[in-house]
Copies of this chain bind each other. A is one copy, B any other.
Amino acid sequence: MYRPAFVPIHPDAIERPAGHGEALFREGDPCDYVFELCGGIARGVSFMASGERQISAFFFPGDQIGLPVAESYRFTAEAVTDVRYVCHSRARWHESLVRSWREEGRLLPSICAEQDPIFRRGIIIGRHGLLVRLCAFFISVIDRLPEEDGMIVYPLSQVDVAAYLATSPESVCRGLRQLREMRVIAAPERERMVVLDRARLEAIASGAHS
């Protein structure tokens, strides 16, 4: 398993790869590095004492994760797909943060990238009804997923979506089927999907009844 212990002090924007399922950092490790995603998708995972597994957020290219917002990382970051990333030492990250504040007057844009999805997930799983949560989830990610031939490349397993939505994989499957039957989405192939009726998707997500 990958452990960020041997990362050079001055990475100088060297891109590193991480394979499918590999951990970038682990919950509880000291926040020595900030990880910037260059390509691929990552997930933030928390394990409960009882063994339950939750996904706090999905992260996309451009996001910075592992911010030293506490003494140690609050979740484990794993690569969902194969991933490319750059890691920044904490000191250098601080430095660039302060610099961006001086130059642009904006201190925290990079903090959004991690905190905002976590906040949004809290709102999403606080909603009632499986379809509502599922649609709200789609709305929150489809714009960040890559597109190909008019289809959205959708490399998230239903198991992961279930862990994100605090539900069961079976329920996710049934929800997807229902959305297909409602002609809201289509899934021509595995890991591909098309949004047929975005307005309806948003309507369901906002709580309108079927």
Contacts and interface: CB of A to CB of B under 8 A. Distances in A.
A206 B70 CA distance: 22
A52 B108 contact: no
Contact of A123 (B2, B46, B68): B46
A122 B207 CA distance: 20
Interface of A: 2, 46, 48-52, 54, 56, 67-70, 74, 94, 97-98, 101, 107-108, 111-112, 115-116, 118-119, 121-123, 125-128, 166, 206-208
Question: How many monomers of this chain does the complex have?
Answer: 2
Contacts of A94: 101, 107
Given A112-B69, A207-B50, A74 B107 contact: no
14 contacts: A48-B206, A50-B207, A50-B208, A54-B122, A54-B123, A69-B112, A94-B107, A97-B107, A98-B101, A111-B111, A115-B118, A118-B118, A118-B119, A121-B122
B127 A126 contact: no
Contacts of A107: 68, 94, 97
B49 A207 contact: yes
Contacts of A49: 206-207
A132 to B, nearest CB: 9
A116 B207 CA distance: 28
A125 B121 CA distance: 10
A117 to B, nearest CB: 10
Given A2-B70, A94-B107, A108-B67, A56 B207 contact: no
A67 B208 CA distance: 32
A56 B122 contact: yes
Contacts of A111: 69, 111
Interface centre among A2, A49, A119 (most CB of B within 10 A): A119
Given A50-B206, A118-B118, A166 B68 contact: no
